[in-house]
Structure 1
Amino acid sequence: MTSPDDFPLELDQQICFALYSTSLAMTKTYKPMLDKLGLTYPQYLAMLVLWESDNLTVKEIAARLSLDSATLTPLLKRLEAQGYVVRIRGVEDERQVHVRLTAQGRSLRQSARAIPPEIFCAAGSDVDELVRLRSDLVRLRASLNEYLER
């Protein structure tokens, strides 16, 4: 494909639609599992970040999730209301808000361990295929972010 006319404009030929519709299907697949934990998909992602590294600032969590802090704050407030995290203003800089897991938030991790194997089964692929797909998606994301930074 060398000229603009060589690139199809049919919906099913667009990588953006394949990614978008797959993302929707993935989120729908997670929903019943996350409902059992009382989490939304974005809350689950935030909890994954905190289970990896507790006591992060809102800004650090936002960067890890590729979100802005204003989008993340209401989500964290809901997690705090559920008793999974506490938000603490920084002592040296009150603009910084640190997020820490509570005992309840840490124990939720054990219940969440059932999710990845179920997603793996739902994907209907072998491990190598999924590892390769994930790697390709990470590389695509990096390329797109690099393009956006130009």
Structure 2
Amino acid sequence: MHERTHASLVALRRILKATDQHARALSRSTGLTAAQRVLMQIIGEAGETTPKEIAARARISQATVTSLIDKLERRGFATRIRGESDRRQIWISLTPEGRQTMETAPDALQELFSQRFEALENWEQAMIVSSLERVATMLNAQAIDASPLLDGAAIDR
């Protein structure tokens, strides 16, 4: 195996391990998955929002959002409220327990990545995106629909 091939595989393995380690740490400290934490962050920032808005911000389907909200609601972290003027409208907000959990939850790995990535020069960002897209193609993964969550597990678990 050539030296660069070896170095590339090691870097990929480190990325996979970092996402797995972060997911386990998040689960241990809060019981949340990365996707659940991201949804709670979106809801918390909005104060009150709709599943459609959450889906758009998280770039996942409304069906997935509904499944995740069901889980958050069962755990007492989120609540659904019917709209007063339009009873078909559903509003989602965090419960006090959900807000408390978010205060103690570690930052999502994609937040750390986003902060550091956005601090790079434009040419560096373009180079990284191009390289990652090329790697996805090399792994026959270019057609896989994926949200911008750094978690290897199913989103709606």
Shared fold, TM over 0.5: yes
Contact residue 27 and residue 41 of structure 1 kept, 8 A = no
Residue 46 of structure 1 corresponds to: 39
Residue 131 of structure 1 corresponds to: 119
- Deviation, 1:31, is 1.1
Alignment-mate amino acid for residue 136 of structure 1? Q
Change in Cα spacing, 1:106 to 1:63, as seen in structure 2 (3 Å) is same
Secondary structure at the counterpart of residue 36 of structure 2: helix
Residue 34 of structure 1 corresponds to: 26
Secondary structure at the counterpart of residue 98 of structure 1: strand
Residue 3 of structure 1 corresponds to: none
Change in Cα spacing, 1:98 to 1:25, as seen in structure 2 (3 Å) is farther
Share of identical aligned residues, percent?
33
- Deviation, 1:33, is 2.0
- Deviation, 1:43, is 0.3
Contact residue 34 and residue 108 of structure 2 kept, 8 A = no
- Deviation, 1:129, is 6.0
Residue 95 of structure 2 corresponds to: 102
Residue 86 of structure 1 corresponds to: 79
Contact residue 55 and residue 99 of structure 1 kept, 8 A = yes
Q: Distance in 2 between matches of 1:42 and 1:82?
A: 15
Alignment-mate amino acid for residue 103 of structure 1? P
Could you tell which deviates more after superposition, 87-96 or 77-86? Answer: 87-96
Q: Distance in 2 between matches of 1:84 and 1:50?
A: 11
What TM-score does the superposition give when structure 1 sets the normalisation length? 0.60
Secondary structure at the counterpart of residue 86 of structure 2: coil
- Deviation, 1:132, is 2.0
Structure 1's unaligned 5+ residue stretches are: 1-11, 13-17, 141-150
- Deviation, 1:28, is 1.2
- The partner residue of 1:75 within 68, 71, 75 is 68
Higher relative contact order (CA 8 A, sep 6+): 2
- Deviation, 1:25, is 4.6
Q: Distance in 1 between matches of 2:47 and 2:116?
A: 30
Q: Distance in 2 between matches of 1:70 and 1:96?
A: 16
What TM-score does the superposition give when structure 2 sets the normalisation length? 0.58
Alignment-mate amino acid for residue 56 of structure 1? T
Larger relative helix fraction: 1
